[in-house]
Amino acid sequence: MIIRRFKPEDAEKVSTIVCRNFIEINSRNYPLEEMQTLASVYNPEKILQIASYAHTYVICDENIIIGTGSISSFWGSETESILLTIFVLPEYHGKGLGKKIIETLEHDDLFLRATRIEIPASITACKFYEKMGYHYKNNAKMLDDEGHYRMEKFH
Per DSSP bridges, beta strands 149-154 and 2-5 are unpaired
pLDDT at 39: 96
Report the alpha-carbon distance of residue 116 to residue 144 in Å, rounded: 19
**Spacing of C-alpha 148 from chain mean position:** 12
pLDDT, mean of residues 129-139: 95
- Ordered domains of the chain (ranges, CATH): 2-154 (3.40.630.30)
Q: What are phi and psi of 102, to 5 degrees?
A: -60, -45
Confidence band of 22 (pLDDT split at 50, 70, 90): very high
Report the alpha-carbon distance of residue 27 to residue 65 in Å, rounded: 22
Q: Over the stretch 38-81, which tens digit does the pLDDT of each residue have?
A: 999 999 999 999 999 999 999 999 989 999 999 999 988 999 99
Is residue 18 within 8 A of residue 73, CB to CB? The reply is no
Is residue 85 within 8 A of residue 18, CB to CB? The reply is yes
Asked whether the whole model's pTM tops 0.75, one would answer yes
